[in-house]
Amino acid sequence: MQEEIEKVLNRMCDPKESEAYHFAEKLGALADEETKEVLLDLVKGDNWEVAYLACLALSKTQWNEESLDAVFDTIFDKKNKNNQGVFVQILEEFDLSERFVDVFRVYLFGNFKASTLAKDYLDGLEFDITQRTIRKAEKHWNHYLHNPEDEGSVVLKKQEVETMLQELKDLFSEGSES
């Protein structure tokens, strides 16, 4: 790893560094293949604050889309249950247009903050939707219905999700009628 990249990485990971966000963004601009691997390891690590900064750095790289798998894995990792919202918040730095199903899963299975942020993404972003995407979303929805963590949220989500899925299906039925 280049000396400058190593210095920036160390500054980003330093818990006493007041400008860690700045160094995360700078690291993202400088990152090479080796740095990407180090950042991915940090995303999966035990320090959620460093993992968050590594996500921020990755969002600024050419591996933005590729690194989303690690970010979503981190969101669903049980050790991050209390910090899910922070990792969902960093998703705004990524291109999520191909990740409808992943965001939908966060909406269904995330904690309150994560679910609320995911709902905002679902409502506000444009996604590339295919019939296969809808089938995958329905699969997760059925899993959620049969395994809810919070019975109280099922009623609210049922109304929202069934409307959302029907609207998506209608888009495809309108397209085939034309």
CA gap 157, 163 in Å, rounded: 10
**Rounded mean pLDDT, 73-83:** 93
Has this prediction a pTM greater than 0.75? yes
Determine how many CB atoms are found less than 10 A away from the CB of residue 40. 20
Going by pLDDT thresholds of 50, 70 and 90, the confidence category of residue 178 is very low
Q: 137 vs 83, 140, 146, 148, CA distance in Å?
A: 24, 5, 14, 16
What pLDDT does residue 176 have? 58
pLDDT one-digit tens code per residue, 9-49: 999 999 999 999 999 999 999 999 999 999 999 999 999 99
Retrieve residue 64's tokens: 């933005």
